[in-house]
Amino acid sequence: MEHETHEGTNMLRRKLIIKIKKYSIIFFAILLVVIWANYASRVKDYDDTVGPFPHSKDQANTTAHLSRLDRLYELAKWQHVLNRQFYEWKWKQALTSSKMTTAQSLDTTRSNDDLLFKYRKQRKTAKPANRYFVYSHKCKIPYADPFSSEALALHTPAKLRTCTNESDLITLSFDLKLQTYKMQVNTEVLVELDPNITQLTCSYQEVRSVKDATGKFFSVLLPPVDMTDNMALDRNISGILAECRDKKNASRIVQRDAFPLVQVIPKTSRTESHPLPRQPSVIMLGLDTMSRMNFKRTMPKTAKYVQQLGWFEMEGYNKVADNTFPNLCTVLAGGKPAQLDKVCEEHSSCPWIWRDFKEAGYSTAYGEDITADSVFTGSGNAPDFTLRPLFTGLTESMHTFRRFGYDYCVGRRLAISYLYDFCMQFTQRLIEELEQPAFGFFWSCTLTHDYHYGTSSLDGLFVDYLKTLEKHKIFGNAIVILFSDHGERFGDLVDLPDGFLEERLPMLHIYLPPWFRKTYPSYAQSLQLNRNRLSSPYDLHNTLRHILQLNATNPEDLPPLANCPTSQSLFHPLPQERSCVDACIGDHWCTCKEFLPVKLNGEAYNIVKLTLYYINRWMLVHHFNRHCDRLLLAELDHAERKLLGVDNDKETLYGTIMIYRLRFRTFPHEGHFEATVRYHSDRQILVDFDLEDISRLNRYHNDSLCINDKIARKFCFCFKEGNTNPEWQSLLINFKEGEEKSQTDSVVALEPIDVPAL
Ligand SMILES: [Zn+2]
């Protein structure tokens, strides 16, 4: 009995142990699941590509954003180092390899960089999208992650460098009572600058714009005028160079400086003629070459600033042309130069939007931080205030320091700071102090144009400017537009899986002040709605026109834009079903996902060879073969075909005409191109061939210095000394009647002309 009881107790104990074991296993299993789930959700945090559509989740938590950035930068740095090591290894291998092809081994013009380039330019394909900027039947723009590991691997944040450590000896102030600018000489900083100097002689020179005999404007420096502390400046001066010298040694310049002066004559009656009680001012701040992705990546502080209430980001804003001028011309004049009957080639006669603002009683200003290749260089029909005369004068007379491909410092200041000081004076004088409507356009390219990471150095400074503008009540009065013309067009970013989007989606942020949102709630609602609809520079132009006609509450109240009648103001809801054709975005620039990859088969090669044939023919017709080498196909990297009937039912009518997009490289020199062409499969020809639809994907400014033609430079590799192609250079094509006249016209007529086999 006792034995039985003992056995029973043992059994119970065993059962208990089994139970404990069972529960322990379950407990640890649950614990493991919890740990895994936690880990998975953290990983998911990093993976934006599986997130919801931007409609529902748009602005990420910014604190998490920044800390995530830090973590990803570390990761990116490692990847960058690893990539570099890999390419170096590959390059060394290539140099020592006996398998090097004869062409490569014989080609002595190929630099080490070129070899490195060859290994770097392997085409990557974007992952299938499951998130979109725009999502409709007619247009699907895939989401591009600004912080993808591939993009971060190329990101090398740059620091802002100052141009001088010296304190300001000469400063400018504005006397509100007297409405004049005054100059101060701060002698107390002399101790720091040079303690041996006790007395100074100071003077200033006015920079003035003067017309020469041919009607061209240029800048002159007027003779020096002695300057004393707190001296008032004449009201018609728009820019000065000032300097102080050692009184005992006149050759010793202690400090030189330059200042723009926005001088305003108060006109209280200016707005009286306008039918509306209050007209919003418009301040356009432009950064050349800035995709919406690169903006978020390189300017996180500014990107955070423009997430505040009142700002609207147009995520489906798509460029309409290759480079700066046609895109900006569309925003500012309502069409590309070719559409405007070339009137915009002569800048003064172009129908710039500021002329309309001026007519409506606005004061207008225009500024750029470069002088060569400026967007607006004209003199007739110029805005009321322009920075160009001062900027030209001071770049010619002060020392400069180059960085990021441009004059970074001019004198003792950043080139960009003259532009923003000019903007600040304009907005302070007109919008803050006089409360008069003002239209200002301020375009900067020195830090952004050539280096995609250059803006990372601008971020802090730019956000400081925005905060100063805020202090001066700009955001209480003005509509502010922060935008760009296009994204990176050459180089690293273009080679990313999302490179196609990086190039074609410039940033566009529009700010509406509180009173405007209250007075025109439907306009603010439309902007909100249009954030994820397809839009283009034509729509932005219509929006500027709409600001001058705010009582146009229906789209029909505004006259249609001649060059794109289906474009409209962003203050009216854009149709949800909108195609690139509706937004006047050509096939080559359209980011709506309408193309499907095709096999690189005989037909694809035939089309790329035809494309090269047409390019070479155009070069021949325009005699560029005398200076530039003939292009031959090195490799077709990628080909895709447009789906028929997606956005334009007319396409299906052609039947045998297919639209192809091709990425290819050329030799004997390394040219990297992307072309969109229309191929007639029955006749095996290209129709409506337009050189504007071909992008050069690697930089070319040094390759094509022997010619000036903007279109031809994309395709030109100048013959180097001792390196010729006599057979090609001696080819001469007879012009057809009238063809010579249209030399700059990029569209090649298809009529057969006598072209030797290429
Ligand atoms: Zn540009």
Tens digit of each residue's pLDDT (9 = 90 or more) over 39-63: 444 333 323 222 223 333 333 333 3
- Quote the ligand 1 centre to 485 CA distance (angstroms): 5
- Quote the ligand 1 centre to 30 CA distance (angstroms): 56
- Quote the ligand 1 centre to 645 CA distance (angstroms): 32
The count of residues in the chain is 758
d(CA 133, CA 530): 11
- Quote the ligand 1 centre to 290 CA distance (angstroms): 8
Give pLDDT, residue 544: 97
- Quote the ligand 1 centre to 104 CA distance (angstroms): 35
User: Contact 475/179 with Cβ under 8 angstroms?
Assistant: no
Query: In terms of DSSP H, where are the helices of 55-131?
Result: 62-96, 102-106, 112-120
Could you report how far apart the first and last alpha carbons of the chain are, in Å? Answer: 111
Q: E strands along 494-594, which residues?
A: 508-511
Give pLDDT, residue 461: 92
Give pLDDT, residue 358: 93
- Quote the ligand 1 centre to 450 CA distance (angstroms): 10
Give pLDDT, residue 275: 54
- Quote the ligand 1 centre to 213 CA distance (angstroms): 32
Q: Can you read off the two tokens belonging to residue 153?
A: 């691997």
- Quote the ligand 1 centre to 443 CA distance (angstroms): 10
- Quote the ligand 1 centre to 244 CA distance (angstroms): 38
pLDDT band for position 85 (50/70/90)? low
Three-class secondary structure of residue 246 per DSSP? strand
d(CA 529, CA 544): 18
- Quote the ligand 1 centre to 676 CA distance (angstroms): 21
- Beta-carbon contacts of 672 under 8 Å, excluding residues fewer than 6 positions away, are 121, 663, 664, 665, 666, 696, 697, 698
- Quote the ligand 1 centre to 282 CA distance (angstroms): 21
Tell me the per-residue pLDDT of 212-242, one tens digit each, with 9 for 90 and over: 777 677 788 889 999 888 889 988 888 989 9
Q: Can you read off the two tokens belonging to residue 212?
A: 């020469």
Residue type, 6: H
- Quote the ligand 1 centre to 237 CA distance (angstroms): 31
Tell me how crowded residue 154 is: count the other CB atoms within 10 A of its CB: 18
Instruction: Using the predicted structure, report yes or no on whether residue 108 has a pLDDT greater than 50.
Output: no
Tell me the per-residue pLDDT of 496-533, one tens digit each, with 9 for 90 and over: 888 899 999 999 999 999 999 999 999 999 999 999 99
CA of 315: how far to CAs of 148, 291, 590, in Å? 18, 10, 14
pLDDT: which is higher, 171 or 741? 171
- Quote the ligand 1 centre to 708 CA distance (angstroms): 18
- Quote the ligand 1 centre to 386 CA distance (angstroms): 20
Tell me the per-residue pLDDT of 339-364, one tens digit each, with 9 for 90 and over: 887 667 666 678 899 999 999 999 99
- Quote the ligand 1 centre to 114 CA distance (angstroms): 26
Instruction: Using the predicted structure, report yes or no on whether residue 144 has a pLDDT greater than 50.
Output: yes
DSSP 554: S
> Which stretch of 107-121, 300-314, 396-410, 584-598 has the lowest confidence by average pLDDT?
107-121
- Quote the ligand 1 centre to 484 CA distance (angstroms): 8
Give pLDDT, residue 329: 92
- Quote the ligand 1 centre to 479 CA distance (angstroms): 23
Q: How far is CA 570 from the centre of its chain?
A: 20
- Quote the ligand 1 centre to 152 CA distance (angstroms): 23
Please state the rounded mean pLDDT for residues 384-410. 81
Among 575-589, 712-726, 728-742, the range of highest mean pLDDT: 575-589
Give pLDDT, residue 41: 40
CA of 724: how far to CAs of 114, 628, 718, in Å? 20, 9, 9
- Quote the ligand 1 centre to 640 CA distance (angstroms): 27
Give pLDDT, residue 523: 97
Give Dmax over CA atoms of the chain in angstroms.
131
- Quote the ligand 1 centre to 694 CA distance (angstroms): 16
Please state the rounded mean pLDDT for residues 122-129. 56
Tell me the per-residue pLDDT of 607-642, one tens digit each, with 9 for 90 and over: 999 999 999 999 998 889 888 999 999 999 999 998
- Beta-carbon contacts of 44 under 8 Å, excluding residues fewer than 6 positions away, are 50
Tell me the per-residue pLDDT of 664-679, one tens digit each, with 9 for 90 and over: 999 888 899 999 999 9
User: Contact 595/639 with Cβ under 8 angstroms?
Assistant: no
- Quote the ligand 1 centre to 449 CA distance (angstroms): 7
At 203, which helix (H) or strand (E)?
strand 200-211
- Quote the ligand 1 centre to 677 CA distance (angstroms): 24
- Quote the ligand 1 centre to 293 CA distance (angstroms): 16
- Quote the ligand 1 centre to 51 CA distance (angstroms): 32
| Helix 62-96, helix 112-120: angle, nearest 10 | 120
Give pLDDT, residue 741: 39
- Quote the ligand 1 centre to 549 CA distance (angstroms): 29
Beta-bridge partner residues of 368:
443
- Beta-carbon contacts of 140 under 8 Å, excluding residues fewer than 6 positions away, are 129, 132, 134, 592, 593
User: Contact 238/260 with Cβ under 8 angstroms?
Assistant: yes
Does the pTM exceed 0.85?
Answer: no
- Quote the ligand 1 centre to 487 CA distance (angstroms): 8
Please state the rounded mean pLDDT for residues 139-145. 92
pLDDT band for position 155 (50/70/90)? confident
- Beta-carbon contacts of 586 under 8 Å, excluding residues fewer than 6 positions away, are 320, 580, 676, 692, 693
- Quote the ligand 1 centre to 87 CA distance (angstroms): 30
- Quote the ligand 1 centre to 145 CA distance (angstroms): 22
- Quote the ligand 1 centre to 330 CA distance (angstroms): 13
d(CA 14, CA 309): 67
The chain-wide mean pLDDT, for the chain, equals: 79
- Quote the ligand 1 centre to 289 CA distance (angstroms): 5
Give pLDDT, residue 8: 64
- Beta-carbon contacts of 445 under 8 Å, excluding residues fewer than 6 positions away, are 287, 288, 289, 324, 368, 369, 370, 406
Instruction: Break the chain into its structural domains and give their ranges.
Output: 54-119, 170-260, 281-557, 595-742
- Quote the ligand 1 centre to 47 CA distance (angstroms): 31
Instruction: Using the predicted structure, report yes or no on whether residue 371 has a pLDDT greater than 60.
Output: yes
Give pLDDT, residue 342: 65
pLDDT band for position 22 (50/70/90)? confident
- Quote the ligand 1 centre to 486 CA distance (angstroms): 6
pLDDT: which is higher, 621 or 34? 621
Instruction: Using the predicted structure, report yes or no on whether residue 396 has a pLDDT greater than 60.
Output: yes
Q: Can you read off the two tokens belonging to residue 675?
A: 């072309």
- Quote the ligand 1 centre to 1 CA distance (angstroms): 99
pLDDT band for position 281 (50/70/90)? very high
- Quote the ligand 1 centre to 490 CA distance (angstroms): 12
Give pLDDT, residue 492: 81
DSSP 630: P
Give pLDDT, residue 518: 95
- Quote the ligand 1 centre to 442 CA distance (angstroms): 14
- Quote the ligand 1 centre to 545 CA distance (angstroms): 23
- Quote the ligand 1 centre to 288 CA distance (angstroms): 5
Proportion of the chain in helix, strand, coil states, percent, rounded to 5: 35, 20, 45
* Domain covering 281-557: architecture: 3-Layer(aba) Sandwich (3.40)
Give pLDDT, residue 670: 86
Instruction: Using the predicted structure, report yes or no on whether residue 683 has a pLDDT greater than 70.
Output: yes
- Quote the ligand 1 centre to 695 CA distance (angstroms): 14
Give pLDDT, residue 398: 81
Specify whether the backbone of 310 is left (phi greater than 0), alpha (psi in -120 to 50) or beta. Answer: left
pLDDT band for position 720 (50/70/90)? confident
Please state the rounded mean pLDDT for residues 142-150. 90
- Quote the ligand 1 centre to 40 CA distance (angstroms): 42
d(CA 309, CA 296): 18
- Quote the ligand 1 centre to 547 CA distance (angstroms): 25
d(CA 31, CA 478): 56
- Quote the ligand 1 centre to 90 CA distance (angstroms): 34
- Quote the ligand 1 centre to 322 CA distance (angstroms): 9
Give pLDDT, residue 458: 87
At 695, which helix (H) or strand (E)?
strand 694-696
Give pLDDT, residue 660: 92
> Which stretch of 355-369, 382-396, 428-442, 528-542 has the lowest confidence by average pLDDT?
382-396
Strands 632-642 and 140-142: unpaired
